[in-house]
Structure 1
């Protein structure tokens, strides 16, 4: 019976290691991806930027611009950024020619149409040259320049309608954590042609008032079937990682359940052990055993269970993490401290669970214990 009980405890610890490891991994990875996406903005800045879709086919572009002008009237609005597409949903284009009129000279590069205030709004530093000022200006990011292994300022690019000259190089623009970026090219955006999205940056402590103001304007100008609730830029990023966050919550729930079941099993086991072996403890204390020896007498079983099950479960988790790592371009550091932290955390919770029962039996007067027997 005791062997079977210990075997079941081992299975519980094994399941606990699996769920706890995956829970910690999901939390660390979600934090890593959140910091990586649009990394030039801090967490607070992402939460302070309102994301407002304007890609409504039933609205004229003039009506959209009028709505944006009404947004600006609130004193809490610090800056507004217009775009043809939400930055979390794609790009404006992906092809440029290196030779004018030569259809064989098309090169793959993600193109973003951005207004004049884009680089300051998104906190993207221009490392070389200058920002966009005219329709002929083009700014490359460092990723594309590093691929060329040369200075690209002054290079000419073309599309079907315009000629562009590279006037500056900016810091990398990170919008994806599943595919490696081939680089970005930024050209001047004309909001008078089409507005598809609007980002509003608020002053500190005034975001709630701005949200109410914008929601009221949207409610006035949009049909009733269009939701007027305003989201933040951080909400857009959460939507991009929706599966990751849903999975994190599910695994967290099972991790909590497995920890509770395991600790209940450990507590019932140590309770039975201490009650059954009181006479043995009394005899050992009469023969000179100290509290340290009594603690080791009961704790060694659970130390063995922790170590053995961790040795079995951690390599399995590591294999899954290596497979999972291939999905991302950035991944959290699952090194020695990751495994050590998980082991020490579960071991500490287990130690606290059995400590009270062990100390209780270790302090029992051996004479009283033998009398009771």
Structure 2
């Protein structure tokens, strides 16, 4: 029986090739979009799946309150380790201290490379379940050991066995390779950790870290834990949340609250607002999930519309089958079989489209998604997906067509009824409501990105590069290198800084100043710079003066930004003193010598943070900042800079970053989301237009005799075009008026997440409405004009 259904279905599809192509093509496009979105969502949800103990691993976070505003992050003080080990060790299977991931120079023989890595305590590799390929599992047991990722080992040693070989790190210390571990896949935390060095080596090499053992105010470290089997993150959080306050009462003024942040939330739910978790990338998972569902719905609507529109042509078939004994259930099965066949063809075509477009999609989304050919679960889900789509697309046509009365159909008295076309009209309205809402949403997303991009950054990022200086080789050589670079004619100014231009690496509190409000809890971004910092960045001095080599007292000088002036409540800040009120490591008073223009160093969607720029007295430079000679090409300047660099640092890889490119990375995530939304919106519109094209074609064919009569009676091409187009245009106008308030409500809520945001303007909605109407007119006009230009003799001579 099922075989017969498929045969009949195939004959009907083959007989009406034009409608079959539109149906299969529209469904295939919709299913391809849904499939590729599904693969993207699966990749997002499977983040950190490499770690076998993912559900037991967490990072220790803390929230602190400054003047009523609570900030949350992973930075914790070093004494917390002892506090948790001594009083709460039963809650943890493993607990490790870890450095931040930073680039270091690795050298073996004549080969020198730069790679990111971490210092970890001994059980770190076991906690994260690293897959050891060569060497010891306990690779951090010896203080002078180093563990390398497989790709790093290959880059350094080629075909040589790396175990036991000596690697020089940042030209400072020699370490023996104890283990090689498999590279952590891209869609996982620590995927950029290419080497691991024992924590004990970190302590031995850095006096400030050893001194931080009792410094509760020095939040410069991070800690990871694997909890015991018989407990939970919530239970431990409730136990340890006040540990810092209990062990260090002096910190109570900031109300520090500790909690465990589970690994499963690191990627998708990493956003916090005022101490509370408030989402993160999970919103994009929901967004694209909704887009995929709606795109599939649009494709299914096309199928429903065309199937029901052609119902009268199949009315006699239904009447005959019923008159010879077919039950309604059998007819429903038949029409669902046709639906299944269309969906099956569409699915295979969709898979082909996905495979062909996957490389481009990966490039666009910065993913490494592969088609899961060998995944049994995927094929089971696909089968369910096909059956679900078959039911969704075929249920209404099956129920509608099978309800025809055979007597009325065979006698020719069957009338489709005054409201028979109403469901089709409703479906067209739904299609274009979704499409117009997508258009508005995409335009607003891109508007928000451009709004932030056009925001003044406060400095001149064009022609500015930074060179990392993560080695003791650079210490004490700043004046020499500045002289060499300026003398090369490739650089017009140079400075150093303790953090990159586009980030804040350090924050400080514990200062007093004249007029400080009682109970005020300051939180200042802290950057140590050389005296030429403002000149190299073309940073504008608004009050006072810049650092100067002519004034020895400038070693205790400080520049503050505009936000800091307002934040600290200073009307005339130049000449005022900032006194360090830190009991653990008090420093000399700092004199404010100038106020500089605000510069964006963090998110361009957020207000500029209050910051201070302090003269670097202790050689804490992490970057050289070089202003390129604008009279020469950038490529020529870079070649010259590299030559000078290699003359003085022959064993260190030459690396540099253009600041404008680094700043551009701040928009990368939103731009990818906006671009993907634009692509999916275009496909949604295309699918809607396919359906509209098919419906117009059918209506033109259905009314060809009427059109012939009208033309014989003198109707013009415009009259015929107007007759066929106006009904569809009315439906799209209705869609626009439904879509606009929906899109406004959703996008206005989305924009509330950004303190620095675009204002919704009427022309965005008007543009989307006009665009939808133009697309409708173009789509309908092709068939309408074709019908209007047809020879009326051909349509009337059969009478």
Taking structure 2 as the reference length, the TM-score comes to 0.41
The CA distance in 2 between the partners of 1:314 and 1:247, in whole Å, is 21
* Structure 1: gaps of 5 or more residues: none
Q: Is the 8 A contact 2:504 2:526 kept in 1?
A: no
Q: Choose the corresponding residue for 1:262, options 671, 684, 688.
A: 688
Offset at residue 73 of structure 1 (A):
5.6
- 3-state SS of 1:135 partner: helix
Q: Is the 8 A contact 2:532 2:547 kept in 1?
A: no
Name 2:499's counterpart in structure 1.
85
**Structure number with higher relative contact order (C-alpha < 8 Å, ≥ 6 residues apart):** 1
The CA distance in 2 between the partners of 1:204 and 1:248, in whole Å, is 37
- Within 5 A, what are the aligned runs for 1:93-242? 93-95=507-509, 96-98=511-513, 107-133=522-548, 134-147=554-567, 148=569, 150-159=571-580, 160-175=586-601, 176-190=603-617, 193-202=619-628, 203=630, 206-213=633-640, 221=649, 230-242=656-668
CA deviations on 1:246-292 (whole Å, 9 max, x unpaired) are 32233233223223222222222222222332322233344554444
Name 1:328's counterpart in structure 2.
754
Name the Cα RMSD after superposition.
3.6
Q: Does 1:295 align with 2:714?
A: no
Q: Choose the corresponding residue for 1:278, options 691, 694, 704.
A: 704
CA deviations on 1:192-249 (whole Å, 9 max, x unpaired) are 612212333322661123344556777895879x7x5643212222333343233223
The CA distance in 2 between the partners of 1:222 and 1:103, in whole Å, is 54
The CA distance in 2 between the partners of 1:286 and 1:49, in whole Å, is 74
The CA distance in 1 between the partners of 2:708 and 2:523, in whole Å, is 80
The CA distance in 1 between the partners of 2:483 and 2:686, in whole Å, is 55
Taking structure 1 as the reference length, the TM-score comes to 0.80
Offset at residue 342 of structure 1 (A):
2.2
The CA distance in 1 between the partners of 2:631 and 2:677, in whole Å, is 35
The CA distance in 2 between the partners of 1:222 and 1:371, in whole Å, is 91
The CA distance in 2 between the partners of 1:49 and 1:338, in whole Å, is 36
Q: How many residue pairs are counted as aligned between the two chains?
A: 364
Q: Structure 1 pair 367/238, CA: closer, same or farther in 2 (3 Å)? A: same
Q: Structure 1 pair 262/51, CA: closer, same or farther in 2 (3 Å)? A: farther
Q: Which deviates further from its counterpart, 117-126 or 262-271?
A: 117-126
Offset at residue 365 of structure 1 (A):
5.0
Offset at residue 39 of structure 1 (A):
4.5
Q: Is the 8 A contact 2:724 2:784 kept in 1?
A: yes
Offset at residue 72 of structure 1 (A):
4.8
Q: Structure 1 pair 294/151, CA: closer, same or farther in 2 (3 Å)? A: farther
Name 1:75's counterpart in structure 2.
489
- 3-state SS of 2:454 partner: helix
